[in-house]
Amino acid sequence: MEAKYIFVTGGVVSSLGKGIISASLACLLKARGYRVTIQKFDPYINIDPGTLNPYEHGECYVTVDGHEADLDLGHYERFTNVQTTRANNVTTGRIYQSVIDKERRGDYLGKTVQIIPHITDEIKRNVKMLGNTGQYDFVITEIGGTVGDIESLPFLEAVRQLRWELGTDALCLHLTYVPYLKAAKELKTKPTQNSVKQLQHIGIQPDILVLRTEKDIPQDMRRKIAQFCNVAPDAVVQSIDRPTIYEVPIMMHEQHLDEIVLKKMDVDFKGQPDMAPWLEFLYKLQEAEEEVTIGLVGKYVELQDAYKSINEALFQAATYSDHKLNLKYIHSEKLTDANAEELLGELDGVIIAPGFGQRGIEGKFAALKYCRTHDIPTFGICLGMQCMVIEFARNVLGYADANSTEMNPTVQHNVIDLMEEQKSVSNMGGTMRLGAYECALRPESRVARAYGSTTVSERHRHRFEFNNAYRDQFERAGMQCVGENPATHLVEVVELPDKRWFVGTQYHPEYSSTVLNPNPLFIDFVKAAIEYGRERAEKK
């Protein structure tokens, strides 16, 4: 069938979870056997979120083809098990860049270049790009921001035009908020009514409303909203807060969201989505009683979204290991040799987070020294792996000054150094070593056993690398370089085989971990942490 387009907009306030609703709907359609993809259009002027710091925008996600993307693409992959690419995340900046390039080339043949039709046409071309590949039955397009924002207007105008042109091959789902006023003991529908009016004013009539709420919205109130907003009563669905986002697809299915969509889009369908593996995951989650306690050492620990993919990968691994995840954030700036015992002593496993720059780095070294000498299962990711190498160089090889040239450009023992290909780079945006690269693993390594394979492909986002001039010295002293890129010999994985579990990866295995296909390295790490926890409990 021709691709059908579902547009997801949001109103009243931001952070309502448009990404989760889009991903949940995609998950249900996929479980019905349809080919589905989700794309996000972000109304900011940055070309991509790669240059935004986590305080601005949370984690930067990375696609297999090396695009630095909005973290919602992580949700899309975790919920659908379908990989995304550069085409799945477009910003206002990308749209304008492309229009301005065309104008400079003379493609507009002397015309005045305007928001309508030139910007809106470019948006429409991007909306339809994935649909036109013939690879998808449904393309879900999430429009970032909140209806009423100035910057999302051109996107909404493009949606209005597409809705008109595509007829029943397009559908609009609007997510709003129904607040509960404690003092009045009442749920309030007015913000939803106003937000739908704003959409209607732009010329978009939503087909489906999803109401985010903390309390159950009674049927008569839903009918009232339907009536005020020109929406069919059965197409008003509530999204009540759940303990985990992974329950949202089930909650949407219970209210027939997938069927409503298929009916409205004139799709013949039979039966129910096959959610058996998903329900199995939720069942494990519900049944888990014992806890595994993992510490995450990083400098953005006060931000909920800064390490999103790591949190989710750990959560999936703990659930599949029949344990509840107790994740403790440890601020690397507050960690020292003196308080390492107090902050890390009771943990079953420690993750040393990715990152950039000097801030908090000494705390990561202190954590690693403690974990290594106390044999705590430890997983270093990207900068975390680089810190493992530096700490080992300082405290085992005896190079007290050892560092990355990122932190100290003139350091003598530059055990982590700028990659050759990065030396000529001057632009910061989109120029790191990005995306999936192959990695060859030594067959006897813990990592190869965990993956059950000696070649893997994982995603990257870095400029610095293990300095191969030191490789022999590290290996003789016990730190093995067990994974490397077969073409460039860049060290991808280090491990200390004489420890319980001490592994660092230059790549980010968290990006590829999904609910139905959790990452094997996270599973192996969490298993080692559980075992270590048991050993300690037995000794007590």
Site residues (CB under 6 A) for ligand GLN? 354-356, 382-383, 406, 461-464
Please report how close the Cβ of residue 406 comes to ligand GLN at its closest, in angstroms.
5
How many CB atoms lie under 10 A from the CB of residue 394? Answer: 19
Residues 6+ apart with CB under 8 A from 469: none
The neighbouring-strand residues paired with 329 are 296
In sequence order, the β-bridge partners of residue 212 are 177, 239
Nearest distance in Å: CB 367, ligand GLN: 15
**Alpha helices per DSSP H over 408-488:** 446-451, 471-477
Asked about 508 being catalytic, the answer comes back as: yes
The smaller minimum CB distance to ligand GLN, of residues 260 and 382, is found at: 382
- The catalytic residue among 172, 382, 439, 481 is 382
CB 508, min distance to ligand GLN, A: 7
In angstroms, give the least distance from the CB of 355 to ligand GLN: 5
Distance of CA 66 to the CA centre of its chain: 14
Give the three-state DSSP class for 36. Answer: strand
Output 320 or 464, the one with its CB closest to ligand GLN. Answer: 464
CB of 505: closest distance to ligand GLN in angstroms?
10
Q: Which is nearer to ligand GLN, 43 or 354 (CB)?
A: 354
- Find the shortest distance in angstroms from Cβ 429 to ligand GLN: 14
Catalytic residue among 75, 460, 462, 508: 508
Rank residues 112 and 427 by Cβ distance to ligand GLN and give the closer one: 427
The CB-of-407 to ligand GLN minimum distance in angstroms stands at 9
Q: Which residues contact 165 (CB under 8 A, 6 or more apart)?
A: none
Whichever of 49 and 354 has its CB closer to ligand GLN, that residue is 354
Q: Residue type at 235? A: A
Beta strands in 196-290 (DSSP E): 208-213, 236-240
Peptide bond into 154 cis (omega under 30): no
Q: Which residue has the tokens 């219970």?
A: 254
Shortest Å distance, C-beta 304 to ligand GLN: 19
382 is a catalytic site residue: yes
- Choose between 68 and 348: whose C-beta lies nearer to ligand GLN: 68
Per the listing, tokens 């109401």 go with 211
Going by the DSSP 8-state scheme, the letter that residue 343 receives in this structure is H
Give the phi and the psi of residue 350 in degrees, each rounded to 5.
Answer: -130, 135
Task: Exactly one of 122, 142, 458, 510 is catalytic; name it.
Answer: 510
The helix or strand, by DSSP H or E, that contains position 452, with its residue range, turns out to be none
Pairing of strands 68-69, 61-62: antiparallel
Distance CA 66, CA 430 (A): 8
**Is 54 or 295 the residue whose CB approaches ligand GLN more closely?**
54
Of the candidates 257, 248, 258, the one whose C-alpha atom is nearest the C-alpha of residue 278 is: 248
Classify residue 412 by burial, with Cβ atoms within 10 Å: 0-12, 13-18, 19+.
Answer: exposed
Q: How far is CA 194 from the centre of its chain?
A: 32
CA distance linking residue 241 with residue 11, whole number of Å: 17
Instruction: Compare residues 313 and 382 and give the one whose CB is closer to ligand GLN.
Output: 382
Start-to-end Cα distance in the chain: 63
Q: Is the dihedral of CA 380, 48, 248, 177 positive or negative?
A: positive
Task: Tell me how far, at minimum, the Cβ of 368 lies from ligand GLN, in Å.
Answer: 15
Q: In terms of DSSP H, where are the helices of 247-339? A: 248-254, 257-264, 276-287, 308-320
Smallest separation (angstroms) from ligand GLN to the CB of 358 = 10
Cβ atoms 23, 173 nearer than 8 A: no
Beta bridge pairs of residue 381: 505
Would you say 163 or 463 has its CB closer to ligand GLN?
463
Residue 143 or 352: the one with the smaller Cβ distance to ligand GLN is: 352
Instruction: Tell how strand 378-381 and strand 349-352 pair up.
Output: parallel
Q: What angle do CA 191, 192, 198 make, to 5 degrees?
A: 90
Active-site positions read: 382, 508, 510
